[in-house]
Structures are given as C-alpha cells and as structure tokens.
Amino acid sequence: MSTDENDETKTETADKQPAGWDWSQAKWRVFWIVSILSLIADQVTKIWARHSLPTYGHGTGPNGTCVVPDDIIHAVCGGQKVNFISGFWEWRLSMNPGSAFGLFGSLGPDFTKWFLSLIGIGAVIGMVFMLKKARPDQRVLHWALALVAGGAVGNLIDRVYFSVVTDFILWRYKTHEWPVFNIADVVLVVGVGLMFIDIQKENKREKALKQVDKKALKAAKAERARKAGLVKDHRDQE
C-alpha cells in the first residue's frame, strides 16, 4: 500500500471516530485522574473511619462490642465524638441512609438505596456526556465534572455495599451542628460550585460573541449600502 493510500485510510478512520470521544484529549485525562483520585481519597478515609473511630453502646459483637456498620445502622451503637479542632471540627462515625449531608434520610434505607443509586449512576453518565460536548478550553468544567463523578461514585459504592453511606466529619459552631458528611460530599459540592462558575463564564462569553456579531453585522450592512451607492464613501473622496 502506498503512502497516499495510508494517509487516506487514516483520514477515513479519524472521520469515522465520534466527535468528543477522543480519549487522548487532555479533558479526558483530567476527568479520569481527578475522579479516580477523588474516589480513592473518599474510600480510604471511609475505611479509616469505620475501623478507627470509637463507638459507644452495647453491640452484637463479642463482649458487647459494636459491629460497624450494622449496629450503627440499627441504632444499637453510635459514634463517639473525637475533637479535631475544639469547638468547630469533630470526627464522629455515622451511617447515613440519605444523600449528601443527610438529605432524604427520612425516607428509609430500602427506598433510598435504590433511588439514590439510580440517581448516582445517572449523574455519572450525565457527567461523561457533558464532558464529551465540552470544549477543550472549558478547563473549569472539566474539573467540575470529574469531581462530581468521583463523589457520586464514592457514595454509590457505600450505598450498594452497605445500603447506607459512611459519614464522619462534623462541623459545629457553638450550639449549631451541620449534618455529618464525608470526602465524597466535599468534592460533590466543590464540583457543583465549579459548574456554576463555568456557567457564569459561558454567559459572559456568549454576551461577548453577540456583541462581536452585532458589530460584524453592522459593518456588513454598511459595506452593502456603500456598494449600492446609498451612502457616501469617505475613502473615495480622499
């Protein structure tokens, strides 16, 4: 086969490849690296919390020890607080049947397990297709989608395996306590925040493009009018 034929074959192959699915693009590398690192950080810290943080109560284990997470799920045991930053930040093991920051927890573990698992799977699929359509210069969006996907998968693993999500970070201020959360919740919130930033940037970009289009349209109309002799051309007079 000649060199020209090889070039034609490569061109045809490239043309057949769906737009946006080029896995060698930087946006896909960012997506997989950030999402996987987020997932690892989430799962490692959850394993640490389940095995290291203290509990209280008379559990179903030998000599009344608490079996994690089962005894916490059934309210036989609970997580003891461990001060990290006194008066503000505590470690406290908790099993959350709901979504991020305890949302939907009152609906029960059986319902939320499947309902929120389907939402998590749908979210990950949605992030992949949004990344496919994203432009190479939308770097903030690339990071946002990666973080949301990593956080969603992190909580999805817990929900499928335990029917609940492991939470262990508690923030408080004086008498107010925020819902207990985990690393997956953090990266989800950061990811969503970055998505809003990208939306703002895209709105500004669209407004700028509209201004450019208006100026170009005005210039084109003026040029047509000049050629038609409807207006004087000062350049000809000079």
* Cα distance between residue 9 and residue 102, in whole Å: 55
**Which residues have CB under 8 Å from 133's CB, separation 6+?**
20
- The CA distance from 94 to 71, in Å, is 11
Instruction: Determine the Cα angle at 186 with ends 183 and 190, to 5°.
Output: 145
CA separation for the pair 75, 35 (Å, rounded)? 33
Catalytic residue, from 167, 213, 233, 236: name it.
167
Q: Which amino acid is at 218?
A: K
Q: Is 185 known to be catalytic?
A: yes
Q: Is 15 a catalytic residue?
A: no
**Catalytic position from the list 185, 198, 233, 236:** 185
Q: Which residues are catalytic?
A: 167, 185
